[in-house]
Structure 1
């Protein structure tokens, strides 16, 4: 059943999680055009209303609470902190902050604290404890630390923070504050549900910061027991102790080697007796050992760049095509920098070839480190000429890294053209909007595979929190089935939008848009015909008013499953239809650009919703005194 959210209801949902009442939701409700603009501008009205958000932009409330505790315990002189799951990541954070602050004029002092948290009734060496790494720095350097958090995506997750909070003393209890850099804290008042057998199971709703449950809250305890029983005994989640098998199952799905992976046999997908076959990724000898999991998609991208810097001669990289913003930031801020060919068109390849020829003439080293590109790009949905780029990579000896997130590997086949393929698993691979994840695949047919694989085997650090992996494994079991539904819906919506645009052979008298993309991927790279993301460019007349009305009426559900409430937001993480807005010109991103990410809703419900949304946009055009571009 679908219902339209009223204006008053929209105001009430601003800043809350999408889906609602989800403890670890990764999408946030921005229900109106003004809310979206206000969020981009950092308006106090919007920022203060947010109790949830995308985890790399909004630090989860549980992480905020844990950080405050660490600052009170270990900080001096108003220091603030960033929390990391491993020492290596904490050292990367310190190095980044010192490097960037030094280049800006003066190095910021940064220190690290290792904090081992263990349950009260277990020894400090217990495997059920958590080793937390705290990066401490002056409070005014927090924006620099936040850059590291956002660009890399490798700091702690909200589930790991809740695990830590469950073992710490209750708020208000006396805590001895040792200030040594390596402190260990036996816990008081630990939540009994995080025992050796059941630790890490999150409740369905995040508690308020002042309401972390304690052992005497019998009713809440019972609710948690029931949740755990349903999650594990009825097969929704693997038990926490099976995290290694869950990760193995996901790596096999991503590698495309599972012969059978259906609801009847998913529980064996990570087992040692599972039947495996040649990869369906276009390179048959890919195996699960060529797939590496990360806590976010950006973590996969950041690590791909770190891998290139570690294995190849140092040189600038190329960012080819208009990318997701943080990809460009990673290439700019780590290593010697990058060239940006933001249009991603064939003429940009001509420019790239001229650049390579010039640089190679003046040096014996390869002129480039790597080329990063998206396939297709987000939000323009442009697909670079991968065979031509591969030819240049062979000639001038650089790596090609392809981000396949928008296309996804059911729809596109890009691994044969890349040394490394990265993807955000938080998007359509995950069937629910409650967990982050990323993947990196090495192409065993790539020129530099041996060096890349050797480095990964020697240096890969698994920092993907086990409970997050368990949720991602569950969410991804029906990935291929969902893609079939999403693709069919995307084609229906695109055909409808095109019929209401100037691109149609017989355009309507008052068109709502100039054009709508009808196919995102050239046939040479297709595994199936369509992906989920579409782009619509509204007519030029009163664009902002038109977009505001589209967002107000577009069919955007509040849950990541078909047939739930309609809502507006900005994301491509839910498998529900979501609309995003192009915020201005440059590199082909026009002011009237609306991005549509189609999901699993009932097709007729989607079409009725878009009919209403476009009618509202067309009313803006009809009422305008300005001439309409025909």
Structure 2
């Protein structure tokens, strides 16, 4: 299985991951120089990309629609293909864009406005952070109807009468007796944004406007709170809640909500959720938990969180070929009915073909994470005992073991993501590693990523930024490993070679 999945094109920059899938959400970046070229937007790197994570790189089918708009419809200036008219109207209102046009054609919505570089960059960032983009399958159907492509990509799906209900049923089965309200979204980040907007609206009316982040979170979770809240604050210490407790004693009456990740990305840290829940209940502060790094089949945050958000693009999908997210609203939350009523105003609903593909893939969710978790345990122990690895961050580490066990569904079930700190030069390790390397995680095949380079290049690439990372305990050379289902002995052999003299 290792050779079948990892061998083709693993050394070629820009190839799709998965390679033969036109809807792939990752791409191969086999060298550190490729990662740097991608982040610095060098032509020699970007021109080789056949795919990319859709919130950051427009899919080839979306680019084709943009070209069609320019050439056949005469559209000039900034244009953005978004998921719905609702999303376009929200962008126009949020950024006060004057003279904007919202064009609809065969279900494809294009937002157009006069040249304004500042507004263009704001909208690009908003689409990246909040995931309101159009699906590659929706774009594909449009192009096929217009005669701009000859055929549709063939894939296995469950073509049911209501694929949305089918996916929700599979996810709901992971939470028996909890009666969670499940909303499917175009991406995990759209789920975060929708929850944030709805809850922020409710809490602001109570005079509570400060949003808290516990731990170093995924880049777009950070950006949503930094850019779109009325104020935010981070607490870097996850295991020790004393700093948070002291802050709440003084400012608890101003706090709107707190956002956590379970575990955090990339350090796989887990707070003591029973203790955190008791602390937040003291001040009536709702908790949003992003569980994407582990997934609903591995962890259960329903006893503690008012809202659970998951990127289904990851472990629920397993094949890195569907953009989708899920919001789980907890009926035990005092905000349940408000969120149930208000979240849909900001939720972007997935396209039917994406739902059909996800309905097929989610059926293998539990089996997938069990096998991946077993491999993660084996690999983590290998890295812990290797003299050229400085640190290993995983769900079974001494730091995380106890707290992770409080949210894990099974005693020996581990998160499928491991982050390591190589003790040898990064280029030597990364460039020589003969495994897939690119963004995203949760795949059935092992995928390695230079997390800090791809998520926070502005910090990695400057001395001031590196000093800040050292201060908060983040190694710029972190390698995040999404463990796959391959033979772990074969995986270990590849890591041994990359770490050898």
TM-score over 0.5 (shorter chain): yes
SS in 1 for 2:295: coil
How far, CA to CA, are the matches of 2:444 and 2:55 in structure 1? 19
Q: Within 5 A, what are the aligned runs for 1:385-400? A: 385-400=272-287
CA pair 301-254 structure 1, distance change in 2 beyond 3 A:
same
Match of 1:286 in 2: 179
How far, CA to CA, are the matches of 1:7 and 1:409 in structure 2? 31
SS in 2 for 1:369: strand
How far, CA to CA, are the matches of 2:304 and 2:445 in structure 1? 31
Deviations 1:353-392 (A, max 9, x none): 33333235xxxxx411110010110111111222232223
Q: Within 5 A, what are the aligned runs for 1:211-250? A: 212-213=149-150, 236-239=156-159, 242=160, 245-250=162-167
Contact 2:178 2:302 in 1 (8 A): no
Query: Aligned match of 1:590 in 461, 475, 480?
Result: 475
Query: Aligned match of 1:86 in 72, 84, 87?
Result: 84
Unaligned runs of 5+ in 1: 99-107, 118-129, 169-190, 192-210, 214-220, 258-278, 361-365, 501-510, 557-566, 620-630
- Following superposition, the deviation at residue 486 of structure 1 comes to 0.5
How far, CA to CA, are the matches of 1:371 and 1:75 in structure 2? 46
Match of 2:368 in 1: 482
Deviations 1:41-84 (A, max 9, x none): 333321222121000000011111212333456666x4221122
Give yes or no for the alignment of 1:576 onto 2:445.
yes
Contact 2:30 2:431 in 1 (8 A): yes
Query: Aligned match of 2:200 in 309, 312, 323?
Result: 309
SS in 1 for 2:78: strand
CA pair 526-337 structure 1, distance change in 2 beyond 3 A:
same
Match of 1:433 in 2: 320
Match of 1:159 in 2: 137
Match of 1:471 in 2: 357
Contact 2:184 2:325 in 1 (8 A): yes
Give yes or no for the alignment of 1:138 onto 2:115.
yes
Contact 2:211 2:233 in 1 (8 A): yes
CA pair 612-318 structure 1, distance change in 2 beyond 3 A:
same
- Following superposition, the deviation at residue 438 of structure 1 comes to 0.4
How far, CA to CA, are the matches of 1:71 and 1:153 in structure 2? 24
Query: Aligned match of 2:262 in 375, 382, 391?
Result: 375
How far, CA to CA, are the matches of 1:570 and 1:82 in structure 2? 23
Q: Within 5 A, what are the aligned runs for 1:507-546? A: 511-517=387-393, 519=396, 520-521=400-401, 522=403, 523-528=405-410, 529=412, 530-539=414-423, 543=424, 546=425
How far, CA to CA, are the matches of 2:128 and 2:223 in structure 1? 10
Q: Normalising by the residue count of structure 2, what TM-score does the alignment of the two structures yield?
A: 0.87
Match of 2:463 in 1: none
Higher relative contact order (CA 8 A, sep 6+): 2
How far, CA to CA, are the matches of 1:66 and 1:399 in structure 2? 41
Match of 2:379 in 1: 493
How far, CA to CA, are the matches of 1:499 and 1:439 in structure 2? 37
Deviations 1:90-114 (A, max 9, x none): 111112333xxxxxxxxx5351323
CA pair 292-9 structure 1, distance change in 2 beyond 3 A:
closer
SS in 2 for 1:477: helix
Give yes or no for the alignment of 1:114 onto 2:103.
yes
How far, CA to CA, are the matches of 2:68 and 2:426 in structure 1? 43
Contact 2:265 2:293 in 1 (8 A): yes
Contact 1:15 1:52 in 2 (8 A): yes
CA pair 423-2 structure 1, distance change in 2 beyond 3 A:
closer
How far, CA to CA, are the matches of 2:348 and 2:421 in structure 1? 42
SS in 2 for 1:421: strand
Give yes or no for the alignment of 1:548 onto 2:427.
yes
Contact 1:94 1:110 in 2 (8 A): no
CA pair 80-426 structure 1, distance change in 2 beyond 3 A:
same
Deviations 1:546-599 (A, max 9, x none): 32232234352xxxxxxxxxx333431422111222444523211342222111
* Number of residue pairs matched by the alignment: 473
> Could you say which structure has the larger radius of gyration?
1
How far, CA to CA, are the matches of 1:382 and 1:42 in structure 2? 32
How far, CA to CA, are the matches of 1:67 and 1:550 in structure 2? 40
Give yes or no for the alignment of 1:455 onto 2:342.
yes
CA pair 379-286 structure 1, distance change in 2 beyond 3 A:
same
Q: Normalising by the residue count of structure 1, what TM-score does the alignment of the two structures yield?
A: 0.70
- Following superposition, the deviation at residue 603 of structure 1 comes to 2.0
Match of 1:38 in 2: 37
Query: Aligned match of 2:220 in 318, 326, 332?
Result: 326
How far, CA to CA, are the matches of 1:8 and 1:53 in structure 2? 17
How far, CA to CA, are the matches of 2:213 and 2:6 in structure 1? 42
How far, CA to CA, are the matches of 1:6 and 1:548 in structure 2? 20
CA pair 367-237 structure 1, distance change in 2 beyond 3 A:
same
How far, CA to CA, are the matches of 1:463 and 1:148 in structure 2? 17
Q: Within 5 A, what are the aligned runs for 1:551-562? A: 551-554=430-433, 556=435
SS in 1 for 2:448: strand
SS in 1 for 2:162: helix
Unaligned runs of 5+ in 2: 454-459, 461-465
Worse-superposed segment, 135-144 or 465-474: 135-144
Match of 1:175 in 2: none
How far, CA to CA, are the matches of 1:68 and 1:441 in structure 2? 38
Deviations 1:193-251 (A, max 9, x none): xxxxxxxxxxxxxxxxxx622xxxxxxx6xx6xx76xx5xxxx3223xx3x52211211
CA pair 493-134 structure 1, distance change in 2 beyond 3 A:
same
Contact 1:549 1:613 in 2 (8 A): yes
SS in 2 for 1:440: strand
